[in-house]
Amino acid sequence: MPRTTAARARRVLLLTDSYRPTVNGVVTSIDELRKGLVEAGHEVRVLTVGPTRRTTFDGEVYRLPSLDASHIYPHARLGRPVDRDLWADLVAWRPEVLHSHTEFVAFWWARRLAHRLDVPHLHTYHTLYADYTHYFFPHERTGRALVARFARKTLNRTDLVIAPTAKIETLLRGYGVRAPVCVVPTGIDLTRFTPGPGSEDLRASLDLTPGVPVVLSLGRLAAEKNTAEVIDLLATVHEPWQLVVAGDGPQAGALRRQVERLGLTPRVRFVGAIEPARVPDFYRLADVFVSVSRSETQGLTYLEALASGIPVLCRDDASVDGVVVDDVNGRTYTTPEEFTRTLTDLLRDPDLRERWSEGAVRSAARSGRDTFAAAVGAAYDRAISAAGTARWAA
């Protein structure tokens, strides 16, 4: 039987230009929300982009015909903006809430449905596009100005914007977004990410040295994730360590060459992209999770590491405020010296790692999927209560 929440059960359509089987933080967040809403008693469907030129529906997910758009962003596809039969089916189903998660074709489906059905349109702003302008615009300053204008013009058409962190709320206000903004931290499946001994088979397959602490970096190997800085910083740490780099992306080759140039090849394991089902095993393998990314909006990997009992060492950034707590579950750093000093302390002191590990599990307990879904359900109620308000001037 599904659990209930204070929010009344509703028909919810989640709309996104990226969804399974694609693996990234946005997809993970949407899928956790879908599962949480269903568990809370809501009826949920997803409208997304499919891999072919025909429309499909499996009872849960509508997939639009699409064209390859990887020249704009790796693995991206552009969905069909109009589909008469799908439109008729959605209108007949009559979703009570439209919740978009990307700002492209799926967003405009949400806009048209909101006008046709007279229901609220909410939008979660997942991606710091200003940190991705190198993919689609050669001049950074002009690219950032265009990103701000695009966000303002787009989000001011919605009834309510969900920001995963206060950092994003501040950013959007700086862009001139005047629609109501509600901060709702993303949640994770706490039954999936739990502390435990790492798999000995996995450890053996990676040829890890027994007794040497494992440092884990997990995520897309792209410029905005700044994994090169992790490698440079680790080269300054003189205590024994071994690094597992889980993920793939356009920077993979350059990172391998960097490791070789620094003479770190025996200490670094590149494992490539890993199946989602195997991700918890990699966290359990680690003693410390590190990240120097500045492009995070929701920090899912930090939450997953903490829930797995892994202390986090990451760059100081507003996206981790209240998530990584100094001397409780990890530490943030602002200078290379702080990184080196903190990691050296962790590598030398297993008692410190254990104390921060226990703090990690306690702090992650607040970030469950049910809490996430309940907060989003409350945002739906807020938007429905305000139904009939005018759109915000762009």
CATH number at residue 31: 3.40.50.2000
Same domain, 44 and 95: yes
Q: How far apart are CA 50 and CA 63, in angstroms?
A: 4
Q: How, if at all, do strands 121-124 and 160-163 pair?
A: parallel
**How many domains would you assign to the chain?**
2
pLDDT per residue as tens, the chain (394 positions): 344 445 689 999 999 999 999 888 899 999 999 999 999 999 999 999 988 888 999 999 999 987 766 655 556 666 668 889 999 999 999 999 999 999 999 999 999 999 999 999 999 999 876 655 545 556 667 778 888 999 999 999 999 999 999 989 999 999 999 999 999 999 999 999 999 999 999 999 999 999 999 999 999 998 888 999 999 999 999 999 999 999 999 999 999 999 999 999 999 999 999 999 999 999 999 999 999 987 676 789 999 999 999 999 999 988 899 999 999 999 999 999 999 999 999 999 999 999 999 999 999 999 999 999 999 999 999 999 987 554 555 5
Q: How far apart are CA 356 and CA 345, in angstroms?
A: 12
Same domain, 119 and 166: yes
Same domain, 60 and 142: yes
Report which secondary-structure segment, H or E, holds 35: helix 25-39
Q: Answer whether residue 194 is part of any domain.
A: no
Q: Answer whether residue 394 is part of any domain.
A: no
Q: Answer whether residue 6 is part of any domain.
A: no
Same domain, 177 and 240: no
Q: Answer whether residue 4 is part of any domain.
A: no
Same domain, 206 and 179: no
Same domain, 213 and 140: no
Q: Which domain holds residue 341?
A: 200-366
Q: Answer whether residue 37 is part of any domain.
A: yes
Q: How far apart are CA 300 and CA 370, in angstroms?
A: 15
Q: How far apart are CA 158 and CA 108, in angstroms?
A: 11
Same domain, 166 and 293: no
- For the chain, the farthest-separated pair of C-alpha atoms sits apart, in whole angstroms, at 64
Same domain, 326 and 210: yes
Q: Answer whether residue 392 is part of any domain.
A: no
Q: Answer whether residue 317 is part of any domain.
A: yes
Q: How far apart are CA 98 and CA 112, in angstroms?
A: 10
Q: How, if at all, do strands 77-79 and 66-68 pair?
A: antiparallel
Same domain, 87 and 209: no
Q: Answer whether residue 178 is part of any domain.
A: yes
Please tell me whether residue 353 adopts helix, strand or coil conformation: helix
